[in-house]
Amino acid sequence: MIKNICCIGAGYVGGPTMAVIAQKCPHIKVTVVDLNEKRIAAWNDKYVNNIPIYEPGLSDVVAEARGRNLFFSTEVDKAIDEADMIFISVNTPTKTYGVGKGMAADLKYIELCARQIARVAKNDKIVVEKSTLPVRTASAIKDILDNTGNGVQFQILSNPEFLAEGTAVEDLFAPDRVLIGGDTTPEGQKAIQQLVDIYANWVPNDKILTTNVWSSELSKLTANAFLAQRVSSINALSELCEKTGADVNEVAKAIGLDSRIGPKFLKASVGFGGSCFQKDILNLVYIAKSYGLNEVADYWEQVVIMNDHQKRRFAKNIIKTLYNTVSGKKIAFLGWAFKKDTNDTRESAAIFVADDLLSEQATVTVYDPKVDSAQIQFDLNYLETRSEEANNKGVQTVDNPYEACKDAHAIAVLTEWDEFKTYDWQKIYDNMLKPAFVFDGRNILNKEELEKIGFIYQGIGSR
C-alpha cells in the first residue's frame, strides 16, 4: 500500500490535486515539491488565503491537511527518496525554439524530473505522469529511468488530470472519471491497482477507468481537443449569427437540447484561453504531422485558427464601431483572467485584445478582481510587440471597476466574473463619455437593461 507520495510541480494541477488526495487520504503523507521558492513559500504562508492559486474552496482543503499529511517543500531529492509513488506535474508548454517550435510540447522539464528521479531513487518506485504529455512519452521516461537509474524497478503510469480551473476542487471531489493507464504486464497491473486504491478513497469504482498507457496519454489531448472544438464551433457560428440576425444563444440552446449534442461548452465568447487548449491541440497537430497524417493535423489546427480569428475580430469590431479610431481613447477592460474564478491569465483572450488595441494607440484600463498589475504587464511584455515602457504607459490597472470605467469611451467585458452583473450600470453610464459603448465578450450583461440606460451594447453572436 502506498504510504508516501511526492509530487513534483506545485502549480495549478499539482497543488490542488495533491491537496485533495491529502485531505481524502489522511493515512498517506503527501509532499509537493517545486524549484520555485516563492511559490512554495506562498503554499506555506501562515495565512491560508495567501496560497498562490485562487480556486474556490481550495484554501479550506489546504487548511485541513497542511502540516498534518500535506507538505510543501523545495527539497526535491529528499521527497523523491522518501516516496513510494512520484507524480510528475510540471509544466509542458509549447516549444519556443528549435524543431517543433510553436507546436510541439517542450518536454525538457519532464526529462529533468525523470533524470532526477533516476539519480535519487534507491528503491522501487511508481512514477505517475500527471502532466499532459504527447502520446508515447512514457516510453521516453522509462528509457531514462532504466538507463540512468540505480538498478531499481520503475513502473510508469499515465494519470492525466481533467480538472478545469475555477472549479478545480469540485472537479477533484467528484470527477466525471479518473483515467489510469499502465503496462499490461502483471507488475504494470499491480501499479495501476495501487493508484486505483488511492482514488477509491473517495471516487466510486465505476468512475475509475484503467487503460493501456498510450490510450491514457492520447485521451487527455483528445478530450481537450474536443472541448476546444466545441467552443470554436459555436464561435464560428457566432459570426454568422451577427450577419444573419440569428442569435447564437438561441442557436446554442436549440442544438444543446439534442441529447446527442448536449448543452455544455456551447457559450460563444471572445475566444478560449487558458494554458491547456491551444497548447494541447498544437501538440496533437504536431504529433499527427510527425506521423505524416496531414489531413488529421489540418483538421485540428483549424480549431486554433478559428480561435485566433475570434479574438482578433473582437478587437477589430471595437475599433470599427468607435468610428474606426481608438487612438487616444480610453477602453475599460472588465476582466483579465482567462475565465472566472481563477487568477490564471495564461493565453487569456484579454491579452490579445489589449495588444491589438494598444497597437491602435488606445489606452486600456483594467479591472480584474483577482489579477494584479504586475501580472498584466508581464503578459503583455511576453508578447514582445512593443517596449515594456510602452506597455506600461498604455495599460493601467485599477482595483475599482467604477474607476476603470470612468471617462471611458467603451467597456469591454473579457472575463465572465459574476460580480460584473451586479454593478450599478446607471452610475457607470453617467461617468462615461458618450456615446457609451459596451462590448460584451462573454454575453453576461443584460442587453435590454443596458440599452434602456443609454448604452450602445454589442454581445457576441447577435445583433
Give me the least distance between CB of 150 and ligand NAD, in Å please.
19
Under a CB-based contact definition with an 8 Å cutoff, are residues 113 and 88 in contact?
Answer: yes
Residue 118 amino acid letter? A
Q: Is 182 annotated as a binding residue?
A: no
CB 107 within 8 A of CB 141: no
Q: Least separation, in Å, of the C-beta of 273 and ligand UDX?
A: 4
338 labelled binding-site residue: yes
Least separation in angstroms between CB 9 and ligand NAD: 3
Q: Is there a binding annotation on residue 93?
A: yes
276 an active-site residue?
yes
- Say whether residue 39 binds ligand NAD (CB under 6 A): yes
| DSSP string covering 335-395 | --SSSTT----TT-HHHHHHHHHHHTT-EEEEE-TT--HHHHHHHHHHHTSS-HHHHHHHE
The yes or no reply on residue 346 touching ligand UDX (CB under 6 A) is: no
Element (H, E) at 215: helix 213-244
Residue 188 touching ligand NAD (CB under 6 A): no
Report yes or no: 453 and 446 within 8 Å, Cβ to Cβ. no
Site for ligand UDX (CB under 6 A): which residue of 227, 241, 248, 315? 227
User: Could you say whether residue 276 binds ligand UDX (CB under 6 A)?
Assistant: yes
Phi then psi for residue 202, to 5 deg, are -145, -10
Alpha carbons 322 and 33: distance in angstroms, whole number: 50
Q: Does the annotation flag 312 for ligand binding?
A: no
Question: Contact 352/311 with Cβ under 8 angstroms?
Answer: yes
| Phi, psi dihedrals of residue 64, rounded to the nearest 5° | -70, -40
319 binds, among ligand UDX, ligand NAD, none (CB under 5 to 8 A by kind): none
| C-beta of 131 vs 219, nearer to ligand NAD | 131
Q: For cell 533524470, what's the residue?
A: 115
Site string for ligand NAD, 338-377 (x = CB under 6 A): ----------------------------------------
Which of 6, 113, 276, 405 does the annotation list as catalytic? 276
- Residue closer to ligand NAD, measured from CB, 347 or 440: 347
396: contact with ligand UDX by CB under 6 A? no
Question: Which parts of 75-134 interact with ligand UDX (CB under 6 A)?
Answer: none
- Under a CB-based contact definition with an 8 Å cutoff, are residues 238 and 268 in contact? yes
Q: Which one of residues 66, 311, 339, 406 is an interface residue with ligand UDX (CB under 6 A)?
A: 339
Catalytic residue numbers read 276
